């Protein structure tokens, strides 16, 4: 397995909030954040796409998908076909895992130079401001990419449920990408076979503790995802995800039994900038914890990606240069999370 990044080890925020705190430690203070847009009560909401309609070749729904990927880079997916009781089990088991006593969690903590495990990602310097969250990061597919220090040591129900969830989400990801190719009027092979003959899947389970000064901390810094497609499951009731749309931060209100899906940088590259990855962030609640389960899908590291030929035309020149997935990830993980700036590194200068 190639190594594509490291992150400095940091203490647990979950442990920090076990003692009552009135003042946030300096290292977690992020003053001067853009507040969300609350000026307008009729804020547009992330589009809702019905997968069962897409699968029955509903043309209007396909246009909605196309529009969502162009204008929003985000949508909620309903009637997605993933077994609801299995999803409930994943929510329950992940919550339990993130709430294990520290003594147990230590066994799953990051070790130097490894991204997988409990901790934070994108910590690239000792004096950098930290996020108000503990996350657990793990490679889930292909099976030979699983970390033998972590995966086999999961409590048994979690291991079985994640195994099942991971394979169902891979299938769902391929179905969505196939429908995106239809919406783009290109051969599905252009996105699927070439890039996705073997998907690399990772998961990030994040525990966002409450904070007495939520406006001065951040759960995840503004970023776009490096991968091709993210499938996000909100594991409890607390909201916190916000996406940047036309310069405003818009809160996403997850629907019950829906997934929040977003386009990542790699899909933006492959579609020659037609489908867009969108900047998003996670905010913190004053009283309530929040838990999310993000599943990322990308091509294998040795693939070279670039705008797919049929989307490069005389009217629309290539917007991005070609790059090996591995080089993109190395750049992404070494820069710290900074909006969409990593894509600019490979943008063709006009
Ligand atoms: O927790 C969330 O809602 C967002 C997580 C996220 O953006 C990520 O893991 O990339
Ligand atoms: Fe993200």
Complete domains list, the chain, with CATH:
30-344 (2.60.120.330)
The reported pTM is 0.95
Neighbours of ion ligand 2 (CB under 5 A): 225
Q: Are 190 and 308 in contact (CB under 8 A)?
A: yes
Q: List phi, psi (to 5°) of 345.
A: -60, -30
Average pLDDT, the chain: 92
Residue 281 C-alpha to ligand 2 middle, in angstroms?
7
Q: Which atom of ligand 1 is nearest to the CA of 280?
A: 7
Residue 220 C-alpha to ligand 2 middle, in angstroms?
8
pLDDT band at residue 91 under the 50/70/90 scheme: very high
Q: Which atom of ligand 1 is nearest to the CA of 241?
A: 3
Mutation test residue for ligand 1: of 206, 218, 227, 236, the one with most atoms within 8 Å of CB: 206
**Residue 112 pLDDT > 90, yes or no?**
no
* 133 alpha carbon, closest ligand: 1
Q: Which atom of ligand 1 is nearest to the CA of 219?
A: 1
Burial of 275 (0-12, 13-18, 19+ CB in 10 A): buried
Q: Is 14 helix (H, G, I), strand (E, B) or coil?
A: helix
Burial of 216 (0-12, 13-18, 19+ CB in 10 A): middle
Q: Whose CA is nearest to atom 8 of ligand 1?
A: 294
Q: Which atom of ligand 1 is nearest to the CA of 292?
A: 1
Q: Are 241 and 280 in contact (CB under 8 A)?
A: yes
**Residue 36 pLDDT > 80, yes or no?**
no
pLDDT value of residue 7: 85
**Residue 194 pLDDT > 70, yes or no?**
no
Q: List phi, psi (to 5°) of 210.
A: -65, 160
**Of residues 49, 46, 8, 17, the one with CA closest to residue 219:** 17
Q: Are 291 and 235 in contact (CB under 8 A)?
A: yes
**Residue 124 pLDDT > 90, yes or no?**
no
Q: Which atom of ligand 1 is nearest to the CA of 281?
A: 7
Write the pLDDT tens digit of every residue in 141-167: 999 999 999 999 999 999 999 999 999
pLDDT band at residue 38 under the 50/70/90 scheme: low
Residue 120 C-alpha to ligand 1 middle, in angstroms?
12
**Residue 244 pLDDT > 70, yes or no?**
yes
The C-alpha atoms of residue 29 and residue 21 are separated, in whole angstroms, by 14
Q: By percentage, how much of the chain surpasses pLDDT 90?
A: 76
pLDDT higher at 30 or 288:
288
Residue 277 C-alpha to ligand 1 middle, in angstroms?
13
Residue 76 C-alpha to ligand 1 middle, in angstroms?
14
**Residue 273 pLDDT > 60, yes or no?**
yes
Q: Both tokens of residue 129?
A: 């401001």
Give the residues surrounding ligand 1 with Cβ less than 6 Å away.
204, 206, 220, 225, 232, 241, 280, 282, 292, 294
> Which has the minimum average pLDDT: 30-39, 67-76, 155-164, 259-268?
30-39
Strands 241-245 and 280-282: antiparallel
Instruction: Please report how many Cα atoms fall inside a 13 Å half-sphere around the Cα of residue 246, on the Cβ side.
Output: 6
Residue 294 C-alpha to ligand 2 middle, in angstroms?
8
**CA distances, 301 to each of 63, 272, 295, 304 (Å):** 32, 20, 17, 8
pLDDT value of residue 335: 80
Q: Which atom of ligand 1 is nearest to the CA of 260?
A: 3
Residue 282 C-alpha to ligand 1 middle, in angstroms?
6
């Amino acid at each position: 397995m190639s190594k594509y990044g490291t992150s400095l080890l940091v203490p647990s925020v979950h442990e920090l909030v076990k003692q009552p705190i009135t003042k946030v430690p300096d290292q977690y203070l992020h003053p001067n954040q853009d507040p969300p847009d609350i000026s307008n009560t009729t804020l547009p909401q992330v589009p809702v796409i019905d997968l069962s309609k897409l699968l029955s070749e509903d043309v209007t729904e396909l246009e909605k998908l196309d529009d969502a990927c162009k204008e929003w880079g985000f949508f909620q997916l309903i009637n997605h076909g993933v077994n609801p009781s299995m999803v409930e089990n994943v929510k329950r088991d992940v919550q339990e895992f993130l709430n294990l006593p520290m003594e147990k969690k230590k066994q799953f903590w990051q070790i130097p130079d490894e991204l997988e495990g409990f901790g934070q990602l994108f910590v690239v310097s000792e004096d950098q401001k930290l996020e108000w969250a503990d996350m657990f990061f793990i490679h889930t597919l292909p099976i030979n990419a699983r970390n033998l220090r972590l995966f086999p040591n999961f409590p048994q129900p979690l291991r079985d449920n994640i195994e099942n969830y991971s394979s169902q989400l891979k299938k769902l990801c391929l179905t969505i990408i196939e429908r995106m190719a239809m919406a783009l009027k290109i051969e599905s092979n252009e996105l699927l076979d070439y890039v996705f003959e073997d998907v690399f899947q990772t998961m990030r389970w994040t525990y966002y503790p409450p904070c007495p000064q939520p406006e001065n901390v951040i759960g995840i810094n503004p970023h776009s995802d490096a991968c091709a497609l993210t499938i996000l499951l909100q594991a409890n009731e607390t909201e916190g995800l916000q996406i940047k749309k036309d310069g405003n931060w818009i809160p996403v209100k997850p629907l019950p039994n829906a997934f929040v899906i977003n386009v990542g940088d790699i899909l933006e590259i492959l579609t020659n900038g037609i489908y867009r990855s969108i900047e998003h962030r996670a905010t913190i609640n004053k009283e309530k914890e929040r838990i999310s389960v993000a599943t990322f899908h990308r091509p294998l590291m040795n693939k070279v990606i670039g705008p797919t030929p049929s989307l490069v035309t005389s009217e629309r020149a290539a917007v991005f240069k070609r790059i090996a997935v591995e080089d993109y990830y190395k750049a992404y993980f070494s820069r710290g999370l900074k909006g969409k700036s990593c894509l600019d590194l490979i943008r063709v200068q006009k």
